[in-house]
Amino acid sequence: MRLLVPDVARGLALLGIAMANAPTAWFTDDVDERADFFGGAHSGLDDATVLATAVTTHVRGLPMFSTLLGFGIGLIMMSLWKRQYPAQRARTVVMKRYAFLALFGAIHCIFIFHGDIMFLYGICGVAFGLLFMLKNSTLLAIAYTGLAIGSTGGIILSSFSSLVEDSSQLVSAEGLGVDSQNYGILVLYNGGFFLLQLLALPLFVFQLMPLMIIGFVWARRGVLANPDEHRRELGIWATIAAVVAVGVGVPWGLAALDVLPPTVEAVTLTLNQSLGLLTGPGILAGLALLLNRRQKAVWAGAAVPIWLAVPAALGKRSMSGYLFQSFAFAVLAYGFFLGLDLDAFGMAAYAFGVWLASLGLAWALEVAGKPGPFEWVHRRLAYGRTGTPQP
């Protein structure tokens, strides 16, 4: 029986991704306004949204998904090992699977959404094919060293950001998207952005690979399957996530709302971009601890409660859910469709509505016993007609 935690986590992470992408990549404009990074704040509801999303949303879903990506690779490798696949054949299976994910991401990035993450995940998955034979201790040494370097670099950069004369230039979401009334211009813009992604690949791989490694090792060691045996480790990670989310997110949100000086906003945004990566394993660890009793009950024969079954259904179809977000947001945000002009609360409300719609569609597929359409295509391309790896 499948673990609840990974599927539920993926389903919930899609909400965080929608909430984060709405102000920073979809509903962008050329207006410099209060709490601009978060979409603009002109009401009490906007203010509450800014503070809440600073803590819970930005650089939260992405690192958790990265950790889960590594966890998924670990499960695939263990399955292949149990079926006595040779190491080279197992490497080929994984690299082919994630090469197709990268292809999906490139198409998505150029023709729909410049903020695509699947291409980077796919490249990281291909690169992971070179690492999976290493010992857990070696892998964790690589991961922790990478996170330490990244966190230290973020702290150093944040000290420099406080010296920038106009700190609003560091925290604005302007220029991250394209205000286009023409699809052809959009594709040209997205294509240029994709080329920049290619140039920045080493940096992105350096950022995401440590999280993937942690997830991979957790799959090998059964950390999420046996939280009781790994309670101390999970508790440490959950605490780290809470400290970063609150310790960085609260002053960031308050500074964006002009409660704290503008330099605080620049510093905390920079810190959040680096230290926020630490929340990925931590959020996953917290969910594992919270759902431990429910998982045991399910393994003992109890039914999965609907409040977990529905987000889990979306988590099983996370690629389709992610791409559904893009289609829905394209209609809402692009000028050649509705081109809505919203503030922080409105963006969050629409993001939540898009997520709810994806939940409903995923649950309908779950009831019908059908996979997500893009998952089906991906497996068919990666594994052939059978949809499963063949010896």
Residue 165 has pLDDT above 60, yes or no: no
* Contacts of 139 by beta carbon, 8 Å cutoff, 6+ apart: 131, 213, 216, 217
The number of distinct structural domains making up the chain is 1
Task: Judge whether 233 lies within some domain.
Answer: yes
**pLDDT at position 391, please?**
57
**pLDDT at position 181, please?**
72
Residue 267 has pLDDT above 80, yes or no: yes
243/171: higher pLDDT:
243
Name all contacts of 140-148 with Cβ < 8 Å and 24+ positions apart.
140/213, 140/214, 140/217, 142/210, 142/213, 143/209, 143/210, 143/211, 143/213, 143/214, 143/217, 144/210, 145/210, 146/206, 146/209, 146/210, 147/210, 147/211, 147/277, 147/278
104-115: average pLDDT = 95
Q: For 342-387, how does the pLDDT look when each residue is reduced to its tens digit (9 = 90+)?
A: 999 999 999 999 999 999 999 999 999 999 999 999 999 988 876 5
Task: Judge whether 363 lies within some domain.
Answer: yes
**pLDDT at position 355, please?**
98
**For the chain, what is the mean pLDDT?**
90
Q: What is the pTM of this model?
A: 0.92
**pLDDT at position 227, please?**
95
Task: Judge whether 391 lies within some domain.
Answer: no
Task: Judge whether 168 lies within some domain.
Answer: yes
Secondary structure (3-state) at 112: coil
Q: For 65-99, how does the pLDDT look when each residue is reduced to its tens digit (9 = 90+)?
A: 999 999 999 998 888 888 888 888 888 889 999 99
Q: Closest Cα partner for 320 from 268, 249, 372, 245?
A: 372
Residue 176 has pLDDT above 50, yes or no: no
Q: What is the DSSP letter of 241?
A: H
Range of the domain at 121: 4-383
Q: What is the DSSP letter of 43?
A: S
Task: Judge whether 13 lies within some domain.
Answer: yes
147-169: average pLDDT = 77
**Within a 10 A sphere around the Cβ of 197, how many other Cβ atoms?**
18
**pLDDT at position 175, please?**
44
Q: Is residue 303 very low, low, confident or very high in pLDDT (cuts 50, 70, 90)?
A: very high
Task: Judge whether 269 lies within some domain.
Answer: yes
Q: For 378-388, how does the pLDDT look when each residue is reduced to its tens digit (9 = 90+)?
A: 999 988 876 56
311-318: average pLDDT = 97
The first and second tokens of residue 328, run together, are: 């829905």
Lowest mean pLDDT among 129-143, 161-175, 210-224, 304-318: 161-175
Task: Judge whether 389 lies within some domain.
Answer: no
Task: Judge whether 344 lies within some domain.
Answer: yes
Residue 288 has pLDDT above 80, yes or no: yes
